[in-house]
């Protein structure tokens, strides 16, 4: 087996990693850069994490690095790993090893340290992750990872069924890598993915959430829904009813799953591929409540009354279950809940929309309102052709929203030109719920463009309200 191939990464390893590698080699150990940095460097993707594998045993690595003045953290000595702090960066250094059986389908029951880097690479998941690089010796590629990079394929190392049996989460990792890199999954690997997908039921939800978040963040969730449907449904059981669900609607040409995939793709198109993560999640989950809300009318047409609210509740539960960050959940859930909120190309309608989003997620009304326009636009072009013109109307709404942004937006009672104390003094009432009710009515009047947000106009409105109370 050839161990040296001329180095051809698009850029060289960072000096902080080279320094660690040189210390190990100066003490007679073999060392290579492995994993994601090698893969990404070959296709000119930036990568900041650099891992090193070495013939040195864990205690030997720790000693020579400390003797050289580096800070060493013994982060995974059971599996032969230490973390070296070099130039302010963390570099994981792991002894050449092979893994034993995976009885829990997650962790190896034992690891065995070996003297061959080829053996170490042979335990890894995919060929594109099973390469090693050395600044002088070049690229070591025993499983054809470089060719798979050129062919844009994700291929398992060795027997794919064995790889996925070892760790069921590799099923999701394969899809994530394909999404992130814009690759396809090699046919034999894909067949093994489908066979192994049910094993995701035994994987912790937080681990699934991390991988799924990576899929969504890639902007290719629509691709995953179409091409890796079995995996997505195994990872998220709520997707199963969406698959092939005939909407029986004159507004829709596609089943719920295909419509969702198209909305995910359209969001990327309308945002030039830089959609916020919460918008991407909202696109993925916006119709998850539809199957449970489906009813047929007496003419055989399908309706989904209340599906935005039901979908928002489901989305919140699903994202919490997967351990996703709270702010991300809040934004995505608000977009799911209001993706069918009626918006018209008027300043009054846009102010109401801003107020609704402010109430849903305080402090983020403007951002979420823009994102709401994007998901509505994507939803429109993913239905029947006759619905696509609504996307043009949404362009007008975007313009109105920008106009509102340039002015003094009034989204909460604290934005009013008068305060609760003003209400108390003017109306002669005690502090309490009545004050909040009056301020809320004033806010609604300003949002509806019935009253200007000036002290004079608001006191005039207070006079009218006081007379009504009398």
Are residues 258 and 401 part of one domain? yes
pLDDT score at 78: 82
Are residues 264 and 227 part of one domain? no
- What number is the average pLDDT over the span 461-465? 79
Pairing of strands 184-185, 81-86: unpaired
Of the candidates 331, 418, 339, 421, the one whose C-alpha atom is nearest the C-alpha of residue 380 is: 339
The string of pLDDT tens digits covering residues 172-210 is 999 999 999 999 999 999 999 999 999 999 999 999 999
Partners of 138 in the beta sheet? 134
Are residues 379 and 317 part of one domain? yes
What does 230-250 look like in DSSP terms, one character per residue?
HHHHHH-GGGGGGTT-----T
Phi, psi dihedral angles at 14 (to 5 degrees): -65, 155
CA distance 140 to 7: 9
pLDDT score at 5: 40
Number of folded domains that form the chain: 4
CA distance 336 to 322: 17
In a domain, 245, yes or no: no
- Of 151, 167, 195, the one marking the end of a domain is 151
Are residues 431 and 286 part of one domain? no
pLDDT > 90? residue 351: no
Are residues 406 and 269 part of one domain? yes
Phi, psi dihedral angles at 54 (to 5 degrees): -150, 155
CA distance 82 to 72: 7
Q: At 421, which CATH number?
A: 1.10.246
- Of 102, 126, 151, the one marking the end of a domain is 151
CA distance 390 to 400: 15
Joined together, the tokens standing for residue 105 give 């389908």
In a domain, 6, yes or no: no
More confident call, 311 vs 299: 311
Where do runs of H (alpha helix) occur along 6-78?
15-26, 36-42, 58-67
In a domain, 5, yes or no: no
pLDDT score at 459: 82
In a domain, 240, yes or no: no
pLDDT > 90? residue 368: yes
In a domain, 223, yes or no: yes
Which range, 69-78, 222-231, 250-259, 356-365, has the best average confidence (pLDDT)? 222-231
CA distance 184 to 130: 18
Q: At 195, which CATH number?
A: 1.10.110.30
CA 394 from centroid of its chain's CA atoms: 25
SS3 per-residue string spanning 294-350: CEECCCCCEECCCHHHHHHHHHHHHHHHCCCCHHHHHHHHHHHHCCCCCCCCCHHHH
Partners of 4 in the beta sheet? none
CA distance 340 to 319: 21
Are residues 186 and 126 part of one domain? no
Are residues 422 and 394 part of one domain? no
DSSP, collapsed to helix, strand or coil, labels residue 92 as strand
Q: Which residues contact 309 (CB under 8 A, 6 or more apart)?
A: 289, 337
Joined together, the tokens standing for residue 73 give 């953290």
CA distance 379 to 151: 34
Q: At 133, which CATH number?
A: 3.30.460.10
pLDDT score at 417: 79
CA distance 268 to 126: 28
Are residues 201 and 333 part of one domain? no
In a domain, 216, yes or no: yes
Q: How far apart, in Å, are the Cα atoms of 410 and each of 50, 346, 361, 365, 459?
A: 49, 16, 15, 11, 17
- Asked if residues 319 and 313 have their Cβ atoms less than 8 Å apart, the reply is no
The string of pLDDT tens digits covering residues 371-423 is 999 999 999 888 766 766 777 778 888 888 888 777 677 777 877 878 888 88
In a domain, 286, yes or no: yes
CA distance 366 to 402: 9
Are residues 347 and 405 part of one domain? yes
Are residues 451 and 335 part of one domain? no
What is the maximum alpha-carbon separation in the chain? 95
Which strand (E) or helix (H) includes residue 75?
A: strand 71-76
Q: At 286, which CATH number?
A: 1.10.3210
Phi, psi dihedral angles at 345 (to 5 degrees): -80, 60
Joined together, the tokens standing for residue 281 give 């999640």
- What number is the average pLDDT over the span 336-343? 93
Are residues 427 and 401 part of one domain? no
Partners of 82 in the beta sheet? 93
Joined together, the tokens standing for residue 85 give 């702090």
Q: How far apart, in Å, are the Cα atoms of 352 and each of 46, 155, 302, 448?
A: 43, 51, 29, 7
CA distance 16 to 71: 13
Q: How far apart, in Å, are the Cα atoms of 96 and each of 81, 124, 308?
A: 10, 12, 52
What's the sign of the alpha-carbon dihedral 325, 326, 331, 337?
Answer: positive
CA distance 449 to 174: 53
The string of pLDDT tens digits covering residues 16-71 is 999 999 999 999 999 999 989 999 999 888 777 899 999 999 999 999 999 999 99
Are residues 104 and 93 part of one domain? yes
Domain of residue 94 covers 15-151
Residue with tokens 């320094």: 19
CA distance 301 to 323: 38
pLDDT score at 98: 85
More confident call, 319 vs 75: 319
Partners of 181 in the beta sheet? none
The string of pLDDT tens digits covering residues 137-165 is 999 999 999 999 999 999 999 999 999 99
In a domain, 121, yes or no: yes
Partners of 33 in the beta sheet? 52, 133
CA distance 141 to 468: 82
- Of 389, 411, 433, the one marking the end of a domain is 411
């Amino acid at each position: 087996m050839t161990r040296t191939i001329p180095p051809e990464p698009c850029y060289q390893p960072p000096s902080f990693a080279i320094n660690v590698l040189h210390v190990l080699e100066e003490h007679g150990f073999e060392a290579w850069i492995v994993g994601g940095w090698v893969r990404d460097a070959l296709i000119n993707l930036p990568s900041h994490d650099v891992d090193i594998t070495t013939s040195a045993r864990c205690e030997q690595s720790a000693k020579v690095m400390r003797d050289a003045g580096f800070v060493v953290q013994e982060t995974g000595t059971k599996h032969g790993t230490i973390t070296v702090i070099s130039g302010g960066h963390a570099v994981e250094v792991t002894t050449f090893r092979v893994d034993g059986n995976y009885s829990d389908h997650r962790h190896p029951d034992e690891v065995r340290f070996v003297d061959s880097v080829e053996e170490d690479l042979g335990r890894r998941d995919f060929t594109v992750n099973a390469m090693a690089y050395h600044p002088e010796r070049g690229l070591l590629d025993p499983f054809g990872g470089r060719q798979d990079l050129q062919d844009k394929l994700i291929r398992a190392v060795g027997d794919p069924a064995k790889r996925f049996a070892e760790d069921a989460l590799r099923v999701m990792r394969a899809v994530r890598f394909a999404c992130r890199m814009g690759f396809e999954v090699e046919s034999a690997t894909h067949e093994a993915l489908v066979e192994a997908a049910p094993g995701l039921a035994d994987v912790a939800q937080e681990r699934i959430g991390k991988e799924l978040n990576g899929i969504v963040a890639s902007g290719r969730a629509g691709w995953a829904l179409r091409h890796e449907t079995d995996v997505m449904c195994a990872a998220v059981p709520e997707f199963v009813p969406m698959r092939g669900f005939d909407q029986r609607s004159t507004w829709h040409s596609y089943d719920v799953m295909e419509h969702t995939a198209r909305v995910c793709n359209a969001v990327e198109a309308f945002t030039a591929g830089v959609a916020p993560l919460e918008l991407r999640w909202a696109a993925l989950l916006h119709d998850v409540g539809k199957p449970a809300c489906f009813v047929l009318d007496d003419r055989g047409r399908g309706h989904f009354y209340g599906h935005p609210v039901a979908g928002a509740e489901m989305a919140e539960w699903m994202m919490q279950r997967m351990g996703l960050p709270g702010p991300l959940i809040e934004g995505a859930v608000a977009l799911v809940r209001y993706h069918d909120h009626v918006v018209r190309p008027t300043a009054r309608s846009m102010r109401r929309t801003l107020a609704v989003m402010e109430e849903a997620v305080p402090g983020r009304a403007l951002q979420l309102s823009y994102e709401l326009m994007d998901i509505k636009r994507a939803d429109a072009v993913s239905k029947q052709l006759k619905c696509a013109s609504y996307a043009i109307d949404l362009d007008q709404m975007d313009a109105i929203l920008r106009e509102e942004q340039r002015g003094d937006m009034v989204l909460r009672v604290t934005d009013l030109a008068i305060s609760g104390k003003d209400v108390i003094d003017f109306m002669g009432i005690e502090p309490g719920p009545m004050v909040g009710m009056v301020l809320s009515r004033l806010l609604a009047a300003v949002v509806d463009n019935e009253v200007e947000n000036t002290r004079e106009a608001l006191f005039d409105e207070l006079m009218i309200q006081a007379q009504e109370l009398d």
